[in-house]
């Protein structure tokens, strides 16, 4: 008789999926490898997920939810827009450094291998952070705490694009080499400098003072 997986075992399955998808990409990932890593049969996976697409989507959602929640928590922690942005930057850099497989999942959904998910995932993954960053900038303008001629939505997009590149730089070899080309091989050993310099860039764009 089929025994329902515990919540802990279901999480192990998702984590095994994240490892496989982040290592081999959507196209190259195999359910048999995921099952073996989670110490399950492929048949058990099919009890929970209709196909590889369904498991992939669950892995993506699981991967990004923790970061999304963390960013929402810190973005409005302070009434000071500089401190709020600094908390976002610090959280993002720490997460990028500590959770490379999760960020490789993020990178995977931007590639051609997962293109059939693009429309759905772009809205699902980016919409919350878009709202968080846009609202943060609108709040700053309401308090006359940053430049008033900035378009909050566009600046939010520009900032998030920078943040995305940092995430990819910590987990994808091409982006890693690209950052090292600009900043030297020791750049990944000094996240404090990364945070400091990024805040100078963002502050300059918004007309903030630290």
Confidence of residue 1 (pLDDT cuts 50, 70, 90): very low
Residue 2 banded pLDDT, cuts 50, 70, 90: low
The per-residue pLDDT for range 84-115, each reduced to its tens digit, is 999 999 999 998 888 888 888 888 888 777 77
In tens, the pLDDT along 21-38 reads 999 988 899 999 999 999
CATH number of 61-206: 1.10.357
Q: What is the pLDDT of residues 54-86, one digit of tens each?
A: 999 999 888 888 778 888 888 888 888 899 999
DSSP string computed for the chain: ---PPPHHHHHHHHHHHHHHHHHHHHHH--HHHHHHHTT--HHHHHHH-SSHHHHHHHHHHHHHHHHHHHHHHHHTS-S-HHHHHHHHHHHHHHHHHH-HHHHHHHHHTTSGGGGGGHHHHHHHHHHHHHHHHHHHHHHHHHTT-S-TTS-HHHHHHHHHHHHHHHHHHHH-HHHHHHHHHHH-GGGGG-HHHHHHHHHHHHHHHHT---
């Amino acid at each position: 008789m089929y025994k329902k997986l515990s919540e802990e075992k279901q999480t192990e399955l998702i984590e095994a999926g994240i490892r496989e998808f982040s290592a081999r990409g959507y196209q190259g990932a195999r359910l048999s490898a995921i099952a073996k890593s989670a110490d399950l049969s492929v048949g058990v996976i099919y009890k929970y997920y209709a196909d590889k697409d369904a498991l992939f989507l669950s892995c993506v959602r699981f991967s990004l939810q923790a970061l999304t929640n963390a960013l929402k928590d810190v973005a409005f922690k302070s009434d000071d827009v500089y401190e709020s942005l600094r908390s976002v930057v610090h959280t993002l850099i720490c997460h990028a450094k500590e959770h490379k497989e999760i960020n490789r999942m993020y990178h995977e959904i931007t590639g051609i291998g997962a293109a059939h998910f693009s429309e759905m995932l772009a809205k699902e993954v980016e919409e919350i952070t878009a709202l968080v960053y846009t609202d943060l900038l609108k709040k700053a303008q309401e308090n006359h705490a940053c430049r008033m001629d900035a378009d909050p939505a566009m600046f939010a997009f520009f900032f998030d694009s920078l943040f995305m590149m940092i995430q990819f730089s910590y987990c994808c070899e091409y982006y890693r080499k690209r950052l090292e080309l600009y900043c030297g091989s020791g750049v990944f050993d000094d996240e404090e400098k990364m945070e400091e310099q990024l805040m100078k860039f963002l502050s300059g764009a918004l007309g903030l003072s630290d």
